[in-house]
């Protein structure tokens, strides 16, 4: 189906046409609306049994045996004994949301047994990512018996060797890619370690921690420890959901169950920190994955990016409402500061890209002087979304560049970065398929670019898909209702691997336009064949679109006929009316620019 010329130069691809029989079969066998059946088929669900599991993913059906992970028995036994013997434990975490949720979950679990576990999160600028030798020595001097690293540690060879040399026990709970060598630790539990056969590779560190606490509880039972009533581990799933979504894990299989059940736990608002964040963003309704990714996550991340990384973990751990409010306000201020720095650096990055990158580059580099390293990941994400290409953002200081990279589906950037480190191009580097970090000497930046370009240029299919916009169905304005959204949301949670269903409003007439907020563009549309404006209309909103080509086109489109692609959402601030969030606009064939 040809929708005309896309303003974003994307190819609109209508899904499902080749599977009409499967759609009809699912509709009949599962007794579900056709639009929901179409969404399921578009995500590869072709049988009734698959459909039942997809619509109602249960942990009891999908949860793997934690002891199937290598070293899990060693890790669970050591931590269980530390709990029984009331040893001094420190949880050493990464400074992002996955690190914050991982450390908060493990700390809450250990504290339930009356053992006070401390959380240590390194300063991003002063210490960098992961364990360091100075911290290991300091923790030993403080009397710690055990350090558990979460969301880091797999490639921390020198620091963990130092810990071993001073008789400080370390356990690694991680999910980042590792090499053939393992660090000197009591146990390394990581679904992505080189020799691991565990089938669930795409889980966040907080998922690894959740499996670990299941194993620890089992070990405590085995050891006959019954001094404290066992915790209900399901209560921790709100933290698992938050970390899984914010670390952009694929929402399929066990991750889908983690997030589905975690959102149910979150709805009970038992975690004081999460409830405080929900109140701060004025969320009085249903918490969904986009709230986690775009509201909760950036605030928790802000401490690690431009302030104190401990703030996010502490917020998720506290049961004191006053302390939670104090922490949330600090994070809110840091997040606003982050936004300002991001805006300034992003403008510089776009300028650099326009001058130095070509349209067909397999990877985009953006290089700046003294950009705050805490915002590099956000810059890389923004650039990747704008250009539909893998991106590496580098901040230079004293001839050394700190970098962050983000990828597109189908291109494993973390492995490429790890390979560049093995080749001696990078001083440090690692990550997972969709994201990575690195340190590089300024004189090696060009070599690093050439290395990535040589590895990535063969992925033509992935680049082509990145320039597509997948459409689940074509809708009319009169078909849009709260009931439609209710049916669509049965396929939730949405995110990486299960994208928010996208629709096209085909041949709609724009009857009004306006600007709202700081820079959002709104158009009111109706079906083009509608006889008058008293019939069904839909409010369509282009967020942050005022200074864009698409926004300019929409503001002068009154009376014009357009095709609009986007997603549906309930507007809780407007009596739960349905809004259409614009992703792209296409000018129908034969109309051209003259209509504007």
Task: Confirm if 441 and 450 have CB atoms less than 8 A apart.
Answer: no
- Whether the pLDDT of residue 65 is over 90: the answer is yes
CATH class of segment(s) 357-466: alpha beta
CA distance 313 to 311: 6
Close Cβ partners of 122 (under 8 Å, ≥ 6 residues apart): 92, 95, 128, 129, 130, 131, 132, 135, 309
At 222 the pLDDT is: 96
Dihedral sign (CA 490, 298, 265, 90): positive
Contact 80, 216 (CB under 8 A): yes
| pTM of the entire predicted model | 0.89
The pLDDT tens digits for 446-464 are: 999 999 999 987 777 777 7
Better pLDDT: 435 or 320: 320
Helices and strands per DSSP (H, E), number in the chain: 22, 19
Domain with CATH 3.90.1640.30 in the chain: 65-330
| Residues whose CB is less than 8 angstroms from the CB of residue 458 and which lie 6 or more positions away in sequence, other chains included | none
Residue 246 token pair? 């914010």
Q: What is the mean pLDDT of residues 350-363?
A: 89
- The residues, any chain, with a CB within 8 Å of residue 321's CB and separated by 6 or more, are 272, 276
- Which pair of structure tokens corresponds to residue 200? 């669930």
Q: Provide the pLDDT for residue 308.
A: 86
What mean pLDDT do residues 20-42 have? 95
Least confident span in 391-400, 433-442, 458-467, 497-506: 458-467
Instruction: Indicate if the pLDDT at residue 109 is higher than 50.
Output: yes
Whether the per-residue pLDDT at 590 is higher than 80: the answer is no
User: Residue 320's CB: how many other CB atoms inside 10 A?
Assistant: 12
Q: Which part of the chain has CATH 3.10.310.30?
A: 357-466
Burial of 501 (0-12, 13-18, 19+ CB in 10 A): buried
Which pLDDT belongs to residue 531? Answer: 66
Q: 591: pLDDT confidence band, cut at 50, 70 and 90? A: low
The conformation of residue 375, written as its DSSP 8-state character, comes to G
The sign of the dihedral angle between the CA atoms of 52, 56, 60, 61 is: positive
User: What pLDDT, on a 0 to 100 scale, did the predictor assign at position 595?
Assistant: 41
252-295 confidence digits (pLDDT tens): 999 999 999 999 999 999 999 999 999 998 887 789 999 999 99
By three-state DSSP, how is residue 283 classified? coil
Residue among 224, 186, 182, 209 at smallest CA distance from 117 = 209
Residue 435 has pLDDT above 80, yes or no: yes
Q: At what angle do helices 321-356 and 376-387 cross, to 10 degrees?
A: 50
Q: Smallest Cα–Cα separation from 550: which of 581, 591, 517, 511? A: 581
Angle at 386 between CA 382 and CA 387, to 5 degrees: 120
Question: Has residue 135 got a pLDDT over 60?
Answer: yes
- Does the pLDDT of residue 158 top 90, yes or no? yes
CATH topology of domain 65-330: inorganic pyrophosphatase (n-terminal core) (3.90.1640)
pLDDT beyond 60 at 593? no
3-state secondary structure of 508: strand
- The continuous run of DSSP H or E covering 525 comes out as strand 520-527
Residue with tokens 């200074």, as numbered in its chain: 547
- Residue 587 pLDDT grade (very low, low, confident, very high; cuts 50, 70, 90): very high
**Neighbouring residues of 433: CB distance < 8 A, sequence distance ≥ 6:** 407, 411, 412, 413, 414, 415
CA distance 279 to 573: 14
Chain centre distance of CA 526: 35
**Per-residue pLDDT band at 59 (split at 50, 70, 90):** very high
Would you state the structure tokens that stand for residue 57, as one six-digit string?
A: 């993913």
In this predicted model, which residue has the larger pLDDT, 514 or 465?
514
Q: Are 476 and 529 in contact (CB under 8 A)?
A: no
pLDDT of residue 576: 52
Is residue 586 within 8 Å of residue 1, measured between CB atoms? no
CA dihedral of residues 173, 174, 180, 183 (deg, nearest 10): -50
Give the pLDDT band of residue 231 (cuts 50, 70, 90): very high
Give pLDDT, residue 446.
Answer: 96
What is the distance between the alpha carbons of residues 541 and 554, in angstroms, rounded to a whole number? Answer: 10
Q: How confident is the model at residue 179 (pLDDT cuts 50, 70, 90)?
A: confident
For residue 553, what pLDDT is reported? 94
- What does the angle CA 312 – CA 63 – CA 66 come to, to the nearest 5 degrees? 80
The string of pLDDT tens digits covering residues 213-228 is 999 999 999 999 999 9
Q: Looking at residue 594, what is its pLDDT?
A: 37
Contact 113, 83 (CB under 8 A): yes
Q: What is the DSSP string of 410-430?
A: T--HHHHHHHHHHTTS-SEEE
Mean pLDDT of the residues in the chain: 92
CATH number of the 5-15+469-595 domain: 2.40.50.110
> In angstroms, rounded to a whole number, what is the distance separating the alpha carbons of residues 470 and 11?
8
pLDDT tens digits, 360-390? 789 999 999 999 999 999 999 999 988 889 9
Q: What is the total residue count of the chain? A: 596
Q: Is the pLDDT of residue 341 over 70?
A: yes
Mean pLDDT of 71-83: 98
């Amino acid at each position: 189906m040809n929708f005309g010329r896309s303003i974003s130069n994307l190819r609109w691809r209508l899904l499902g046409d080749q599977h009409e029989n499967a759609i009809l079969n699912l509709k009949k066998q599962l007794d579900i609306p056709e639009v929901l059946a179409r969404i399921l088929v578009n995500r590869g669900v072709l049988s009734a049994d698959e459909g039942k599991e997809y619509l109602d993913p249960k942990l009891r059906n999908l949860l793997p045996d934690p002891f199937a992970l290598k070293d899990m028995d060693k890790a669970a036994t050591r931590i269980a004994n530390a709990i029984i013997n009331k040893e001094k434990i420190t949880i050493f975490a990464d400074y992002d949301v996955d690190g914050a949720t991982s450390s908060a979950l493990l700390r809450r679990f250990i504290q339930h047994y009356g053992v006070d576990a401390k959380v240590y999160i390194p300063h991003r600028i002063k210490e960098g990512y992961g364990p360091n030798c100075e911290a290991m020595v300091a923790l030993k001097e403080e009397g710690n018996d055990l350090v558990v690293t979460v969301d880091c540690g797999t490639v921390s060879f020198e620091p963990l060797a130092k810990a071993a040399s001073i008789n400080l026990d370390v356990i690694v709970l991680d999910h980042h890619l590792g090499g053939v060598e393992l660090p000197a630790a009591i146990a390394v539990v990581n679904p992505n370690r080189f020799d691991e056969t565990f089938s669930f590779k795409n889980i966040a560190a907080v998922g690894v921690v959740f499996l670990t606490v299941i194993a620890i509880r089992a070990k405590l039972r085995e050891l006959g420890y019954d001094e404290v009533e066992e915790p209900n581990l399901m209560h921790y799933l709100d933290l698992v959901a938050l970390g899984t979504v914010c670390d952009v894990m694929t929402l399929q299989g066990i991750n889908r169950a983690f997030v589905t059940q975690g959102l149910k736990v979150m709805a009970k608002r038992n975690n004081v920190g999460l409830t405080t964040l929900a109140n701060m963003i004025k969320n009085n309704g249903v918490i969904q994955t986009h709230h986690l990714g775009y509201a909760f996550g950036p605030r928790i991340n802000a401490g690690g990016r431009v302030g104190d990384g401990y703030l996010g973990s502490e917020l998720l751990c506290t049961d004191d409402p006053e302390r939670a409010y104090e922490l949330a306000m600090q994070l809110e201020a840091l997040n606003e500061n982050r936004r300002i720095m991001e805006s300034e650096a992003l403008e510089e990055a776009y300028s650099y890209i326009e001058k130095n990158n070509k349209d067909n580059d397999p990877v985009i580099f953006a290089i700046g002087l003294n950009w705050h390293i805490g915002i590099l990941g956000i810059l890389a994400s923004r650039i990747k979304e704008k250009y539909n290409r893998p991106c590496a953002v580098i901040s230079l200081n004293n001839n050394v560049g700190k970098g962050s990279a983000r990828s597109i589906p189908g291109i494993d950037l973390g492995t490429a970065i790890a390979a560049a480190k093995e080749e001696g191009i990078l001083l440090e580097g690692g990550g997972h398929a969709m994201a990575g970090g690195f340190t590089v000497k300024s004189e090696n930046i060009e070599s690093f670019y050439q290395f990535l370009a040589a590895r990535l240029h063969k992925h033509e299919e992935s680049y082509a898909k990145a320039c597509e916009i997948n459409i689940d169905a074509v809708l009319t304005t009169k078909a849009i209702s709260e009931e439609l959204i209710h049916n669509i949301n049965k396929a939730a949670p949405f995110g990486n691997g299960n994208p928010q269903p996208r629709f096209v409003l085909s041949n709609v007439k724009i009857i009004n336009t306006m600007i709202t907020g700081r820079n959002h563009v709104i158009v009111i549309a109706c079906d083009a064949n509608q006889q008058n404006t008293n019939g069904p209309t839909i409010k369509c909103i282009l967020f942050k679109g005022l200074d864009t080509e698409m926004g300019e086109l929409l503001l002068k489109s009154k009376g014009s006929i357009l095709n609009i692609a986007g997603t549906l959402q309930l507007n809780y601030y407007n009596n739960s009316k349905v809004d259409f969030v614009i992703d792209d606009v296409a000018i129908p064939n034969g109309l051209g620019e003259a209509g504007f």
